Amino acid sequence: MLIKCEDIRRYYRVGTEEVHALNGVSFEIGKGEWVAIIGQSGSGKSTLMNVLGCLDTPTAGRYWLNGKDVSGMSDNELADIRNREIGFIFQTFQLLPRETALGNVELPLIYRGLRAKDRRDRARAALEQVGLGNRVTHRPNELSGGQRQRVAIARALVTEPSLLLADEPTGNLDSTTGQEIIGLFEELHRQGHTLLLVTHEPTLAARCPRAIRISDGRIVNDGAGPDVALAGRGERARAAAAT
Amino acid sequence: MSLRVDLLEGGRIAVRSLGVNRLRTLLTLTAVGIGVATLLAIVGIIQGLNGAFDRQLASLGTATLNVARRPFVITGDWWRYRNRKQITLAQMQALAQQSRLASAVVPEVNEDGRELESGSETVSNVDLVGTVADFQKIWGYEVPVGRFLTDADSEAERFVIVLGSEVAEQLFPNRSALNASVRLDHRPYRVVGVLAKKGQILGQSMDLVALIPFKTFLAVYGKRDFQIDVGADDPEQLDRLEDEVTGILRRVRSVPPGEPDDFSVNRSQQLAETYQQLTSALYGVAVGVGLITLLVGGIGIMNIMLVTVRERTREIGIRRALGARRSTIVVQFLLEASLVSAVGGAIGTSFGLGAAKLVSLVTSLAAAVRPLTVLGGIGFAALVGLFFGIWPAARAARLDPVEALHYE
């Protein structure tokens, strides 16, 4: 198992009120799986993504990533886990505007302590892998949205992480470019990468072999991608019909 | 993730971000620069003053003791000294006979602010000294023209006079003073010698002096209150000489054991100490002003760093997500703050040096800045930046990565 979650809870305090963003979530994800986490906004899927990405720690419950219990780790240990085990792909790309494509891809390797020559070689290879071998010296504002997301994917891949974590990766792209990015994910899946895709779009989730639906901080459905995504649509249709 | 990597990467980011907001960086480092410049100029001027004073003090003769009723520097109740018994000729002779460490023992008696005339020329404010031949030896006077006073001059109460170089120049602008006649307090004196130039001490000319034989002085001015100058062969022996002189004088002046001395043994070093007391207060105030200026600069840096942290919140979030530790972020912002500050310090240093140089050109103060001061200025500025960068850097590191990533 790559990911094992056991009764994960995450509570926030907003003013005097306690918000239960995650209310006891348990699931497992194996190596090489491609899983969509689907849910409405406010369902808790972003909180789950933050916990799985080690950007946030659960209030209760345990989380094993690649055999290590991450839930009780210190801030420094979590930073190292993020650096080694996780590759983030964000909706808004999150590239550093002043760095070139190459500089952006090199960044996680700097924090790993690699030498400059080594970093450059690996970053260049990662950019070639996503089809941007001819754009290494461009800055983000000189690239199209799809190209920026490819730079972000190259940055996620360059550390050879055990988990790729994508948060609405096509959200800021037009549909054609979005399709290209999804095509790239399919390619990565075939190569054996483990992919976790957080989205609110059923059509996107339907393309994943497995999907987990989150609602009100709990898992409400876990199964084959098209089934879960369509069931969600059915639910909404039923809800609309009831009113 | 090692500190080496933190420093290298932090330094790279710091250098780069300096160029991004050029105007803002420039304004910030100007504030620090002014602080450093002020501080350096002040330190430079004071170092120059001290150096000049030390050199002049050395020319005063460091191997001489002065015995008088009063100390050079009076602190507290002056009347305590007024009621002391006068020093007598017999006491001086006893001192000269009994001291084994003294190279010379001479009497010295002074009248300040005399006026000398020769023909139509006059010189006022002349320090008049009555003394004997060995005075020259003790104080290291050179007499390029004519001769110094002799003991015979004193014994015979001759009306002869030795002029300081400035007195001679003013009375005899175009001719030799030797053997000329000068009038001093309505009596004619014959010039037998002119002293070599000695320069100034603390802005006071050492060449506005005139010397006449000791006994002539006593006869004319009727003064009995004189001082004794005691020369040592070796400056190193000054402490032992002081002990010896004190012992002899206590005996001949019949000071009972346990009673304090009823005379003062003075050294030029006491002048130096007084000078240092005076200037250290000035030094403190001036350096305080410089430090306040630097404090203002430091607060400017803190302000700008807080703005920078806010502007780069997302960047911090990205870096944290990609594996940067809190310490990495702290190092990055600390380096940036101290770099801005150090650049400001370097600019300030050059201005401060310029100011000190200007002062030494315009005034007679020789402002001196040691190389170490320059390094100190830059280093100190960097430390100021480091200090005032701590809070902003800590704020940056405390940011929650999730919130930072979604900061607009």
Residue B389: other Cβ atoms inside 10 A: 29
Please give the pLDDT value at position B174: 85
Please give the pLDDT value at position B40: 81
Q: Write down all domains in chain A, each with its CATH number in brackets.
A: 33-60+74-242 (3.40.50.300)
The pLDDT of residue A241 is above 50: no
CA nearest B241: which of B57, B59, B62, B65? B65
Q: Please give the Cα distance from B138 to B105 (Å, whole number).
A: 9
For B232-288, what is each residue's pLDDT tens digit? Answer: 877 778 888 889 999 998 998 888 888 888 888 888 767 777 777 777 888 888 888
pLDDT band of A121, cuts 50, 70, 90:
very high
Distance from CA of A56 to the nearest CA of B (A): 7
Please indicate if any CB of chain A lies within 8 Å of the CB of B152: no
pLDDT band of A243, cuts 50, 70, 90:
very low
The pLDDT of residue A169 is above 70: yes
Please indicate if any CB of chain A lies within 8 Å of the CB of B292: no
Q: Please give the Cα distance from A188 to A211 (Å, whole number).
A: 18
CA nearest A75: which of B106, B330, B163, B156? B330
Please give the pLDDT value at position B112: 86
Q: Which residues of chain B lie closer than 8 angstroms to A96, CB-CB? A: 315, 318
Q: Give the residue ranges of chain B where pLDDT is below 70.
A: 1-2, 55-62, 73-76, 78, 200-204, 269, 363-370
Cross-chain residue pair A79–B320, CB shorter than 8 Å:
yes
Q: Which residues of chain A lie closer than 8 angstroms to B20, CB-CB? A: 98
Q: Which residue among B315, B317, B323 sits closest to A83, beta carbon to beta carbon?
A: B323
Please give the pLDDT value at position A238: 47
Residue B17: other Cβ atoms inside 10 A: 21
For A178-220, what is each residue's pLDDT tens digit? Answer: 999 999 999 999 999 999 999 988 888 889 999 999 999 999 9
Closest residue of A to B2, CA-based? A113
- Give residues with Cβ within 8 angstroms of A134, minimum separation 6: none
For A70-117, what is each residue's pLDDT tens digit? Answer: 988 999 999 999 999 999 999 999 999 989 999 999 999 999 988 889
Q: How many CA atoms lie within 13 A of A182 on its CB side?
A: 22
Instruction: Look up residue B248 and give its amino acid.
Output: I
Q: Please give the Cα distance from B307 to B340 (Å, whole number).
A: 14
Distance from CA of B54 to the nearest CA of A (A): 56
For B170-198, what is each residue's pLDDT tens digit? Answer: 999 888 889 999 999 999 999 999 999 87
| Best-predicted range by mean pLDDT (A30-39, A233-242, B260-269) | A30-39
Cross-chain residue pair A111–B323, CB shorter than 8 Å:
yes
Please give the pLDDT value at position B404: 93
The pLDDT of residue A242 is above 50: no
Report residue B294 as tokens. Answer: 């630097």
Tally C-beta pairs within 8 A across A and B.
63
Cross-chain residue pair A88–B322, CB shorter than 8 Å:
yes
CA nearest B13: which of B328, B404, B302, B343? B328
Please give the pLDDT value at position B306: 92
Q: Which residues of chain B lie closer than 8 angstroms to A113, CB-CB? A: 1-2, 5
Please give the pLDDT value at position B193: 94
The pLDDT of residue A9 is above 50: yes
Closest residue of A to B6, CA-based? A111
Distance from CA of B348 to the nearest CA of A (A): 30
Cross-chain residue pair A80–B1, CB shorter than 8 Å:
yes
Distance from CA of A30 to the nearest CA of B (A): 23
pLDDT band of A154, cuts 50, 70, 90:
very high
Q: Which residue among B1, B315, B402 sits closest to A111, beta carbon to beta carbon?
A: B1
Q: Which residues of chain B lie closer than 8 angstroms to A88, CB-CB? A: 321-322
Q: Where are the domains of chain B?
A: 3-56+273-405, 85-262
ipTM: 0.92
Please give the pLDDT value at position B61: 60
Q: Which residue among A50, A90, A110 sits closest to B5, beta carbon to beta carbon?
A: A110
Please indicate if any CB of chain A lies within 8 Å of the CB of B315: yes
